[in-house]
Chains A and B, each alone.
Chain A
Amino acid sequence: MAENKDLTQMMMSRRQVLGLGAAGAAALTLAACGGGSSDSGSEAGSDSGAGDAEAKDSYKVAMIMSGIITDGGWDQAHYESLQRALKDHGKWEMLEPHENTADADAATAAQAYVDQDVDLIIGNGNQFASDWMEVVADAAENHPGVHFLITNTDPTAEMGDYDTLDPVETVLPDFKQTGALAGVVAGLMTQTKSIGFIGGMKLPSTLAKYSAYLAAAQKIDPSIQGQYNFEAGFTDASFGTNLAQQWINTNNVDVMWGDASAVDNGVRQALEAAGADTHFDIAQPIDIVGDDQPTVVTSTVTDWMIGQAMDEIESGSFGGGKAITADMSNGGITLGKFSDKVPADVQDKVNEYVEEIKAGTFLTDDEVSKIQDTL
């Protein structure tokens, strides 16, 4: 154990040495490149860490994702959250997002933005939590102006091995609320009393969402049955089609809720083939209700509260491994538009339940965990 401590100390000092080199090189590049980012110079000068509320004139933000911003799901939703935040934050400027980031390159991608002293680096999803450990430690020491925001990550459970969480915050949407919103819609819309869910990966968020989804639907009608798949991945749309077909034909599923980006597209394909007037889809996490999506009745929309992170950085209160909650009270979670397939009386009923969900009176934690325990 003592040996380990020595080792980490040694590593630290090595990092410092290397870091000095990195900072020097970065300064050189900045000097060489010249124009544009005149603000970065002042940042490098002041090295007093967090709590330094000296407001800057302009800030930079960058987003790193495994998919692309037009995936119609996960990464697009993050990108749209960022766009919304930028609208309210005039001082912020967005760098080109880093798409298609392979796991092996995730740390390098973050380092690239650290080198440019980007004020906020956003990682879309908890896979970045494990890849960024070294980058964060390095940045905390040598680039105090750089902050990291990782979404759908529980800092206590998933970032326990970090040396420092000073420049890090995460966003945790209230998965129970999202699930409950989808659940009441599904419960009111299903005629066959059979609903389905496809998740791309068996994450804590996926499990929580499905449990709340089924619990809420069963609250409306206890006879409702739920089908689930948590391992669909995020790219194979044809799998979504095939799986949904199987459930439609064998288990009479008529309402689906998806959490698997491209795979959800395939699901909608199967629902449409089975009849768009009797088979419905609830979209996630962006609002896609419209004429070109005949099966989509509504969407559960998530906003990753990037604006709040920007505010905190401006005021100097960002960091320390806090988790920003995105829920219905702060607009992080909302139910999208209804399509005309949803009758007016159902819409009214949904809206009633929405208020209860927001107030936290609709579902108890027990009801959700009772389902989660069976998964």
Chain B
Amino acid sequence: MAKKELSAEERQERTLSILTPVVSVLLALVIGAIIVACLGKNPLQGYGAMLQGSWGDASKISKTLERSCPLIFTGLCATFAYKCGVFNLGGEGQFIMGGCATACVILGGGIEGPAGLALGLLAGIVVGGIWALIPGIMKITRGLNEMITTIMLNYIALYFMEYVYKMMYSDQGLPKTVAMPKSARLADLAGTHVGVLLAVVLGVVVWYVIFRTSFGFKIRAVGMNPVASRVNGFPVKRLVLLAFVISGAIAGLGGSVELLGRTPYRLADGFGSGFGFDGVAIALIAQLNPIAAVVVAILFGTLSTGGTMMQSVIGVPTAIMDIIRGLIIIFAVAGMAMIKLPKIRAFLTNRKQSKKTEASA
């Protein structure tokens, strides 16, 4: 009896946690529609174009998934770190450094073919991990706030990438690297590249590691209560460091995949721009569930490709899509905090209980 009661509550919580982001998205879209209508354009036509442009046919779907792919990686990067209580805001820097490492290995080493692909991806994982290891070491030795250090490292990575594409492997002096050789690129898959599949599989793997292994249990324990974990004899510092490295490695792999999977197959200005912060938002909207993060990342990708289409078809400023994205994040975060507030919780359970008593009466 008691067990059944608990599962009902759990079910309610699960419903709410799925419902909140959905409502947030709808609410943000409604506000977006109002803005569009105020500009004298037809919001329904706009949203129609958005759906048509992102999910209208097979090629549109593959483009949307391709656009979502890097966001899946940075979303998983943030998810993993946050599960361990690490606020890694450096997804963008790690993503960029992953891309740089791949470019250096393939272009610098002149390695082509599957070997180049494998080594390139490996380099991305390693360097992304190292780039996250730096703030990790600073955190556990000097107690430095990783939010600040990772953001600063984002800028340093950005300028380092400039060095790579302008000075090291520039294509005839243009501010972009030489294109990755065709033989070392990720294989095509249904109009997009296998990196998308890799990202989705990674989402499942991360979910498995976090929720189904003892390592994941420790990571979660540290994230929930580092003091208690230490008392329990968990190597807290090592786990925190591992969380940094693994989350960085995920982002770094994302950078490699983006570079080897997506046109123009080059590093250039704007590579990875904004992906890190989007990843943080994705992780939180997904409530740190890796599989949900994949879904939310695809939603963000849809907003990007669909929003671009909508902009062109009805002719509204691009900033509207950013406003909608910001609103989704705010609503989702606020909404999820709201349903966790003790008062609201009590209200919800009371209602449920009173309903139950009514039913039994």
Binding site for B on A (CB under 8 A): 4, 7, 11, 14, 18-19, 21-22, 24-25, 29, 33, 62, 95-96, 98-105, 107-109, 111-113, 115-116, 126-127, 130-131, 133-134, 138, 157-158, 161, 201-204, 207, 231
Contacts and interface: CB of A to CB of B under 8 A. Distances in A.
A105 B268 contact: no
Contacts of B316: 96
B304 interface: yes
Nearest to B173: A204
Given A18-B57, A130-B268, A98 B308 contact: yes
B311 interface: yes
State the 7 A-B residue pairs at the shortest beta-carbon distance, nearest first.
Answer: A96-B315, A103-B270, A112-B312, A130-B264, A18-B59, A21-B57, A100-B318
A259 to B, nearest CB: 14
Given A18-B58, A161-B179, A134 B308 contact: no
Contacts of A103: 268-271, 273
Nearest to B175: A201
Contacts of B56: 25, 29
Nearest to B191: A18
A11 B190 CA distance: 10
Interface in B303-343: 304-305, 308-309, 311-319
Given A131-B264, A202-B166, A104 B315 contact: no
Given A11-B188, A62-B312, A115-B53, A105 B59 contact: no
B308 A105 contact: yes
Given A4-B182, A96-B312, A161-B179, A108 B305 contact: yes
Nearest to B273: A102
Contacts of B220: none
Q: Which of B166, B183, B263, B317 has the most chain A CB within a 10 Å cutoff?
A: B263
Interface of B: 45, 49, 52-53, 56-60, 62-63, 67, 70, 162, 166, 172-176, 179, 182-183, 188, 191, 263-264, 266, 268-271, 273-274, 304-305, 308-309, 311-319
A285 to B, nearest CB: 19
A107 B63 CA distance: 10
Contacts of A109: 308, 311-312
B274 A102 contact: yes
A26 to B, nearest CB: 9
A343 to B, nearest CB: 39
Nearest to A112: B312
Nearest to B64: A108
B191 A14 contact: yes
Contacts of B67: 104-105, 108
Nearest to A204: B173
A79 to B, nearest CB: 14
Contacts of B53: 108, 112, 115
A148 to B, nearest CB: 15
A305 to B, nearest CB: 22
A208 to B, nearest CB: 11
Contacts of B269: 103, 127, 201
23 contacts: A4-B183, A14-B188, A14-B191, A18-B62, A25-B52, A29-B49, A95-B312, A99-B317, A100-B319, A103-B269, A104-B304, A105-B67, A105-B308, A107-B63, A108-B53, A108-B305, A112-B311, A115-B309, A116-B312, A130-B176, A138-B59, A157-B172, A202-B175
